[in-house]
Structure 1
Amino acid sequence: MTVTLITGANRGIGFEAAHRLVDAGHIVYLGSRDLERGREAAEQVGARALQLDVTEEESVQAAVRLLRAEAGALDVLINNAAIAGTWNGPGEITATDMESVYATNVIGLVRVTHAFLPLLEASNSPVVVNVSSSGGSLARCSDPTSLEASFPMVAYNSSKSAVNMITVQYANAFPKLRINAVNPGFTATGLNDHQGTQTAGEGAEIIVRMATIGSDGPTGGFFEVDGSVPW
């Protein structure tokens, strides 16, 4: 069976992705900072709860040890954990604001990916899905007519641009892996105080689609439900 790990999956898009992948026959490890909340969420969908704080090295290493002992390999890693941080624009953003968001959205993603690479390479068809955002698209944010340009969230948007570049660099370095970034769309979740225009289930659709690609699937791309997203 396909073994899948989703970070930040006790609610929102990650939770919905876990639900759908369990239904698709995956063994899903539902990662969350709070183990009790993770257990409650995992019980609802038939997943396995895993304590995982992407900002803490020991937490990540403990998760690696558990998966190595229980599964021996990891087929799908979904880097979903993220925070929105402050909505401050360029005139108000501070270095501290940036550090807080980057600690989870960028450094945390690299910490988890690096730690699980050996288990991914032990898989016959390894896949990594990095949950990004169209807010990280330079093309869309530089278009004054776009929705993305109306949300000048310096910390969050730039962190997702970093995720996109990290995705490309990993894809170039590890051609055996299928590594892609995805844009779930403007989804109503706790991340944005439920201000999105679509449900968490709708947002999870592209994550699930890219999590289930085969070894002949794309890599190094940026996708949403309707196709590729411009960088």
Structure 2
Amino acid sequence: MTAILITGANKGLGRETARRLVAAGHTVYLGSRDAGRGRAAAAAVGATAVQLDVTDDASVAAAAKEIEAAGGLDVLVNNAGIQQEMAADGTVTGAADLTPEMMSGTFATNVFGIVRVTRAFLPLLLRSAAPVVVNVSSGLASLARMSEPGTHAYAYPGVAYPASKAAVNMLTVQYAKAFPQIRVNAVEPGYTATDLNGKHGGQSVEQGAEIIVRMAQTGPDGPTGGFFDAEGPLPW
């Protein structure tokens, strides 16, 4: 039985991913910054709640100790993320109004959070016979897509969120090279209707979770150091 931790999983894509992986027979730790919401979500999907704030060293360390005591970890899904530049009505702060504070706040969760969590759980992952890391990225991280006129990505005016996800892709490549025994991949769920974007996404969480669930179950012979959506590899 595979032990899987999903960060930011009390709602949206994280919760749906947890539900699907529990249904597939895995032991799932549902990480949530808010302990109460985490417990409620875990109870609903059959997972085990773990209080985990990816921006807090003590919280992450405590979660690692808790999961180690419970038997260890095979798969880490770095799902927690924010999109500060998008307002509830769907409007997006563009380059002209970008501030250092927006960049630092976004990177604190989306990038530094992944580094903090991955660093804390690496000792457990390296003890697994088939360790996997899935970093939830975005199509907006693709420089190729963002540079192609006429695409949805090209039309997106924001900077902080795409830049943070491009950094996630670089983390993915470098972690995969540093730890060849771990399958490390970035995934693009698609523009999914969640609280992250004020429910403006064009697909359901069931559709968006598909690639996360698939890559979380990657075997030792599976890809590593790649960037994928449900249709296959994506351009960087």
Per the normalisation by structure 2, the TM-score is: 0.97
Q: Which residue of 1 aligns with 2:155?
A: 150
Alignment of 1:102-181 (within 5 A): 102-181=107-186
How far apart, CA to CA, are the structure 2 residues paired with 1:23 and 1:7?
18
How far apart, CA to CA, are the structure 2 residues paired with 1:12 and 1:54?
17
Counterpart of 1:211, as a letter, is A
Q: Which residue of 1 aligns with 2:89?
A: none
Alignment of 1:57-136 (within 5 A): 57-71=57-71, 73-86=72-85, 87-136=92-141
How far apart, CA to CA, are the structure 1 residues paired with 2:158 and 2:67?
36
Q: Which residue of 1 aligns with 2:203?
A: 198
Secondary structure at the residue paired with 1:91? helix
**What value does the CA root-mean-square deviation take over the aligned residues?**
0.5
How far apart, CA to CA, are the structure 2 residues paired with 1:211 and 1:152?
31
Counterpart of 1:30, as a letter, is L
- Cα distance, 1:158 vs structure 2: 0.4
Deviations 1:21-61 (A, max 9, x none): 00001100000000000000000010000000000000000
How far apart, CA to CA, are the structure 2 residues paired with 1:12 and 1:106?
19
Counterpart of 2:24, as a letter, is A
How far apart, CA to CA, are the structure 1 residues paired with 2:157 and 2:134?
25
Are 2:203 and 1:186 equivalent residues in the alignment?
A: no
How far apart, CA to CA, are the structure 1 residues paired with 2:167 and 2:222?
23
Q: Which residue of 2 aligns with 1:25?
A: 25
How far apart, CA to CA, are the structure 1 residues paired with 2:64 and 2:218?
23
How far apart, CA to CA, are the structure 1 residues paired with 2:81 and 2:158?
14
How far apart, CA to CA, are the structure 1 residues paired with 2:112 and 2:123?
19
How far apart, CA to CA, are the structure 2 residues paired with 1:25 and 1:58?
30
How far apart, CA to CA, are the structure 1 residues paired with 2:191 and 2:82?
15
How far apart, CA to CA, are the structure 2 residues paired with 1:213 and 1:32?
24
How far apart, CA to CA, are the structure 1 residues paired with 2:61 and 2:157?
35
- Cα distance, 1:145 vs structure 2: 1.2
Deviations 1:65-122 (A, max 9, x none): 1011111x21100000000011311110000010000000000010000110000001
Counterpart of 2:215, as a letter, is M
Q: Which residue of 2 aligns with 1:48?
A: 48
Match of 2:221 among 212, 216, 223: 216
How far apart, CA to CA, are the structure 1 residues paired with 2:157 and 2:43?
38
How many residue pairs get matched?
Answer: 230
Deviations 1:187-229 (A, max 9, x none): 0000000011100111000000000010000000000000111
How far apart, CA to CA, are the structure 1 residues paired with 2:158 and 2:33?
25
Runs of 4+ in 1 over 3 A off after TM superposition: none
How far apart, CA to CA, are the structure 1 residues paired with 2:204 and 2:99?
32
Secondary structure at the residue paired with 1:153? coil
